[in-house]
Amino acid sequence: MAAAPTRAFRRRLIAITLLAASVRVSYILIAKQGDDACGQPLCGDAIWYSAQAQAIADGAFFEDPFGRGGPAADHPPLTPLVLAPVSFVFPDSVLAQRLAIAAIGTGAVALVMLLGRRVGGERVGSVAGVLAALYPNLWLNDGVVMSEALAAAGTAALLLLVLAYGRAPGVRSAAVLGLAGGVAVLARAELALLLPLSLLPVALAAPRGRREKRLVAVRDVAVAGAVTAAVLVPWVLFNVARFEEPVTISTNDGLTLIGANCDKVYGGGSIGIWVVPAAEAYGDPMCAPEVVRPEGDQSVVSATYRDAALDYIGNHTRDLPKVLLARQGRVWSAYETHQMWWYNQGEGRERTLSRIGEYAYKVLVPLAAVGAWSLRRRRRVLWPLLATFVVVAATATLFYGLVRFRVPAEIALVVLAAQGGVRLWERWRPTPLATDDAVEPSTT
């Protein structure tokens, strides 16, 4: 069992959480009054999240919130479900929705601080909390009515529970992890990759005989997967019953794929990103004007777009290497970063603040590399943190490169940077580490 947090750490946890809340609320009250960064009240996907939450509050449970009729599952359901009670109490208040998202983002900061403590001790946890509270790429998302704050909190919670499982492996802790994994997937579908990627190596690292280790690892991963599936089943069955074509988490896959696989994004200045596909509802299509939006509900439209995108990929396999490289360059801020500032503005993030966020990211990366090296050298937990980078890379490979897809890795980045910064400070100014008893053993 890890030692309980000291009183000093608990005080710092409260202070840093209040700091995180003040940063996020101040940002919203200063920058989010009137029109958003795109020149409209809401931008991009936030329009759907906000409208769907209000529709649920008004009694229309995941029906099209824009008056077109029919069922809706444009995105995973957790964000509008969380915002619906806020919209019920404060009807048509985008400000209330923003503040609710900011509260979730503030909770994510507290979870990051606890994660840092579990990885490197209380000093690392405190530094990780401060970094998470002040890091623009986190609090910028917390002012936008979208799913990134929930993704950040879900990632931090999953990593904490994976480390808890590593200390006390068993069916019960695997089941709790599966429960958290299912909830996280309902916020962001790609987090389904994080659970098996992070859990299996930890399960295999338990001090048992080789054969027993494998059997127990398979059992616990299966238990976690089964519980995750059980969490998802009600939403999936609800979708199966109301759509013409099979739908699991959302109907967004077809739209995402067709906008990321066409001539416009396989070459030129938009390579590796997403642009507006062909659809009357989108006005001037930029991506695939030859693909006509079909008649039918969202599932039919999604299936048509998905098939067209897969056909395009099959006919352009020679272009894939450069496209995939561009996607990775974009998601990791290594290629045409100035374009991402403009793209972020279209989603409600101020261009100047996005630029500052990129600079902060590039400061944290080398510190995180030092932190990873330090953890590896000290034979302490590392792989679950690195698994978040694998998830982000896989998401960009399958879809397209966008900085906000990097949220799961930003959580690990902050913790690793805190570890690196603390170790460099101790190297230059050696002082005893007050509480390192909470550090995890190696799982790599």
Q: Which pTM does this prediction carry?
A: 0.92
272 token code pair:
């590796």
Query: What pLDDT was estimated at residue 330?
Result: 96
With CA atoms as reference, report the closest residue to 279 among 299, 264, 294.
Answer: 294
pLDDT at 273 over 70: yes
Query: What pLDDT was estimated at residue 430?
Result: 65
d(CA 263, CA 285): 12
Query: What pLDDT was estimated at residue 208?
Result: 61
pLDDT at 276 over 80: no
211 token code pair:
């054969």
Average pLDDT over residues 243-260: 92
Q: How far is CA 219 from CA 30, 135, 169, 170, 222, in A?
A: 51, 39, 11, 9, 5
d(CA 84, CA 66): 16
- Considering 35-39, 267-271, 325-329, the range whose residues carry the highest mean pLDDT is 325-329
pLDDT tens sequence across 101-155: 999 999 999 999 999 999 999 999 999 999 999 999 999 999 999 999 999 999 9
Query: What pLDDT was estimated at residue 46?
Result: 95
Query: What pLDDT was estimated at residue 269?
Result: 86
Residue type, 27: Y
Hey, CA dihedral for 88, 347, 325, 155, is it positive or negative? negative
d(CA 156, CA 140): 18
pLDDT at 434 over 90: no
pLDDT tens sequence across 56-72: 999 999 999 988 888 99
- For residue 236, how many other CB atoms are within 10 A of its CB? 14
Average pLDDT over residues 92-103: 96
Query: What pLDDT was estimated at residue 40?
Result: 87
pLDDT at 442 over 70: no
pLDDT tens sequence across 382-397: 999 999 999 999 999 9
Looking from the CA of 236 toward its CB, the CA atoms found within 13 Å total: 11
160 token code pair:
């904490």
- For residue 87, how many other CB atoms are within 10 A of its CB? 24
Higher pLDDT, 431 or 407: 407
CA diameter of the chain? 69
pLDDT at 408 over 50: yes
Query: What pLDDT was estimated at residue 243?
Result: 95
